[in-house]
Amino acid sequence: MQKTQAYIAQHKQRFLDELFDLLRIPSVSADPAYKGDVRKAAEFVADSLRKAGADAVEVCETAGNPIVYGEKITDPDKPTVLVYGHYDVQPPDPMDLWTSPPFEPVIKKSELHPDGAIFARGSCDDKGQAYMHVKAFEAMLASNELPCNVKFMIEGEEEVGSSNLGTFCRANTDKLSCDVILISDTSIIANDTPSITVGLRGLSYVEVEVVGPNRDLHSGVYGGAVANPINILSRMISSLQDEENRITIPGFYDDVATVGDSERAKMNEAPFDEGTYKKDLGIAAVRGETGYTTLERVSIRPTLDVNGIWGGYTGEGAKTVLPSKAHAKISMRLVPHQDPDKVTQLFTEHFQRIAPPSVKVRVTPHHGGEPVVTPTDTPEYQAAHKAMEKTFGKAPIPKREGGSIPIVALFEQVLGAKSVLMGFGLDSDAIHSPNEHYGLFNFYKGIETIPYFYHYYSQMKEER
């Protein structure tokens, strides 16, 4: 890997300039207004794969945003690594909280990134991390050190539930056949504490509507006699968690796997300082399910959170109105062995049941996803471990994370391959928030580490 590493060192600045160009394309998948930019980003990724030396590069059409494919088959007898990532990003709002425009990347220093970080939407999630793979691949090919076959599948709908990726995978099982899937779309504990993600939570996401009177009413004329949907919705939502912050939906915990004491003890050994955590978030106290630590609450326990709530008058000044409708978007993060469809069903039945007769309730399910836990006694995990140990000079710690990448469970079912979650972000990188950033250290560390993954993985597969 000597030549590869030398190549990376030599082309550092160009790699960054290219990533900046990708970050300038506002590929927001949630907003149809950005459709053209989403396609531009796909074309950009395809072009960069071609320039890096990939074959059969294609912008594959789907019912939604295109999926970029590319491959390098060096020898059919060698193992094949499928790299997955996404070029779509979350909406940048709220815009006024960005200290520099979201699609005009700049390098700024921050407390955790004294060497500078790239500030832009998608810098960490996931353009910056996906682009590390393109550059690592380029470096290995240019140095004649690619030890295996590589396939790329970079999608454009991850942030909106990957609704067309399942169909694409099922229709292309031969094209996508591989020994392992490599994903950089997660985080490490700290820049001096590498970790490998061994679990992701699942997701059930619903939108609720509470309807009271058939029109908005004068809150003086009718107030007190007619149900106010916002008051009712607030009550219904608060009843979903009890005093111990446990979710009250009957059956919600039925399938939750109990994590053993020794595993919990180990999990809590990971470096974590609650004081720093609180300070970073500007909160005086943490809050969560009784009987669990913060690290456990965000990894092995399920949650219920309101993501948005609206209704009535929210404009300037005061308008006295008793609104006809109230709305909320609610997400539930799931853990093994909860089933997203079953949880959505339980939620829907419960929410209908607790609604008073004075209102009507409608629950609309959105995308969901299954939780995942990956084993550590596999060649792929061991290869990631050795690769990170090599470049960080420190053994990585296995860590279950709270976020979701719904497609990971599906990959295993459809492609029969396990995923390695070797991400390089930090939890404090503000993904999905204003001022998202990605450390230069992290970007380059990723590019340096990925070639070692290929190296150790191929070596281990050969020995088997």
Can you tell me which of 26, 85, 161, 451 binds ligand BES, judged by CB under 6 A?
161
47: annotated active-site residue: no
Can you tell me which of 303, 404, 419, 428 binds ligand BES, judged by CB under 6 A?
404
Determine the residue with CB nearest ligand BES. 403
Told to check if 65 binds ligand BES by CB under 6 A, we report no
Greatest distance between any 2 Cα atoms in the chain: 81
Told to check if 138 binds ligand BES by CB under 6 A, we report no
| Closest distance of CB 337 from Mn ion, Å | 24
Can you tell me which of 18, 71, 159, 370 binds ligand BES, judged by CB under 6 A?
159
Told to check if 203 binds ligand BES by CB under 6 A, we report yes
Stretch touching ligand BES by CB under 6 A, among 20-28, 157-165, 337-345, 348-356: 157-165
Can you tell me which of 66, 79, 122, 369 binds ligand BES, judged by CB under 6 A?
369
Told to check if 122 binds ligand BES by CB under 6 A, we report no
Which positions lie near Mn ion, rule CB under 5 A?
Answer: 125-126, 185
Can you tell me which of 125, 155, 370, 436 binds ligand BES, judged by CB under 6 A?
125
Which of the listed partners (ligand BES, Mn ion, none) does 404 bind, with a CB threshold of 5 to 8 Å by partner kind?
ligand BES
Which of the listed partners (ligand BES, Mn ion, none) does 367 bind, with a CB threshold of 5 to 8 Å by partner kind?
ligand BES
Told to check if 329 binds ligand BES by CB under 6 A, we report no
341: annotated active-site residue: no
| Closest distance of CB 177 from ligand BES, Å | 25
User: Among residues 369 and 371, whose Cβ is nearest to ligand BES?
Assistant: 369
| Closest distance of CB 404 from Mn ion, Å | 9
HEC secondary structure over 375-391:
CCCCHHHHHHHHHHHHH
Which of the listed partners (Mn ion, ligand BES, none) does 401 bind, with a CB threshold of 5 to 8 Å by partner kind?
ligand BES
Stretch touching ligand BES by CB under 6 A, among 60-68, 217-225, 230-238, 402-410: 402-410
Of 88, 157, 179, 380, the active-site residue reads 88
| Closest distance of CB 86 from Mn ion, Å | 6
Residues interacting with ligand BES, by CB under 6 A? 125-126, 158-159, 161, 185-187, 200, 203, 367, 369, 401, 403-406
Give the residue numbers marked as catalytic.
Answer: 88, 158
